[in-house]
Structure 1
Amino acid sequence: MELHTNRLVLKPYTKDLAERVVELAGDEDVAATTFVPHPYTLEIAEQWIAAHQAWIDNKNAFPMSMILKETEELIGTMTLRVDSKNNKGELAYWVGKQYWNKGFASEAAKRIVEFGLEELNLHRIWSAAISTNPASTKVMEKAGLTYEGTLKQDIYHWGEYKDIDVYGLVKQV
């Protein structure tokens, strides 16, 4: 399974990408603004990648590597986690710091939202971001999701309670 955008290929992870995942997701600035664990070890990356095929086969989640077409390098992750009981999906992502503010996450998010609505026929797609991460909320907005509310002090992250902004999109029939 591969999804394409102008500049990216979104496809399942392979084991050989584990070290690059650690390099990108292990960056303290990436972890500080996302739900990615820190420190991010090779063992965590390998276990995470090893679980992917079962998730995809069962249609529970579609964790896709974001690969630059031009250089074939991994730059981040775009995931759609599926809640089949409620026919909805959760959009989740991270991008390596050196690729921030270049529109890659927005480009990939638009494509995975389209995949969720059209190919998986989901009724709703939602996403959440730490309120102090406006770049992430811009990605959600560019993917067609709209602000639904803020969950006050919803997570305990890096020693403090943080607010979470929730965005969503309901399929228009």
Structure 2
Amino acid sequence: MNWPLTTERLNLQPYEITQAERVSELAGDKAVAATTFVPHPYTLEDAQNWIRTHKEWIKEGKAYPMAMVLKSTNELVGTMTLRVDHKHKKGELAYWVGRTYWGKGYASEAAARMVQYGFETLNLHRIWSAAMSENPASTRVMQKVGLSYEGKLKGDIYHWGEYKDIDVYGMTAPDYLK
């Protein structure tokens, strides 16, 4: 694959180890971790270790963790990942956006491009995503890119001392092609 995947305002491209410090700043924000699956605290070492796994994941087609980078300033604003299950030809969309970039539509823009990549390039049959029920911004991203609500997983994860509900959204290739 030739990277980056592009959108109107973003380049979605594999991470460089030089971005680890910025990743730990953005993902390490307690507000980001509060309603996502990002661990907290999130250290520089955590970011470096995570980025070091990417090359192999991409080569094997297991996951495509992409840095969401503003075309205009080359700033890292977040992550858009597609994790692939080849046996079932499905992908899981996972993402986070740095707090200073919330509400600007970057996640929706990147998710739409990643969904396109999943269906048109990887020929997936299904793409799905999940978010904590208390994270309406994340569920709006899923809705904006055409994923449909499939259900609530009650008390599915243990997060910061309590069980949280998860909302699941998905789309199949025939729905995408409509």
Instruction: Give structure 2 stretches of 5+ with no counterpart.
Output: none
> The residue matched to 1:86 in structure 2 has which SS?
coil
> Residue type of the partner of 1:45?
A
Cα displacement (A) at 1:2:
1.2
The residue that corresponds to 1:93 in the other structure is: 95
> The residue matched to 1:94 in structure 2 has which SS?
strand
Deviation per CA, 1:28-56: give whole Å up to 9, x if none.
00000100010001111000000000000
Q: Distance in 2 between matches of 1:114 and 1:148?
A: 20
Deviation per CA, 1:18-37: give whole Å up to 9, x if none.
00000000000000010001
Aligned positions, number: 173
> The residue matched to 2:87 in structure 1 has which SS?
helix
TM norm structure 1: 0.99
Cα displacement (A) at 1:66:
0.2
Q: 2:76 aligns with which of 71, 74, 82?
A: 74
Q: 2:57 aligns with which of 49, 55, 58?
A: 55
> The residue matched to 1:34 in structure 2 has which SS?
coil
Q: Report matched runs for 1:101-120 at 5 Å.
A: 101-120=103-122
Q: Distance in 2 between matches of 1:37 and 1:53?
A: 21
> The residue matched to 1:109 in structure 2 has which SS?
helix
Cα displacement (A) at 1:142:
0.8
Q: Report matched runs for 1:17-28 at 5 Å.
A: 17-28=19-30
Q: Percent identity?
A: 68
Q: Distance in 1 between matches of 2:105 and 2:75?
A: 16
Cα displacement (A) at 1:144:
1.1
The residue that corresponds to 1:9 in the other structure is: 11
Q: Distance in 2 between matches of 1:47 and 1:23?
A: 15
The residue that corresponds to 1:157 in the other structure is: 159
Instruction: Give structure 1 stretches of 5+ with no counterpart.
Output: none
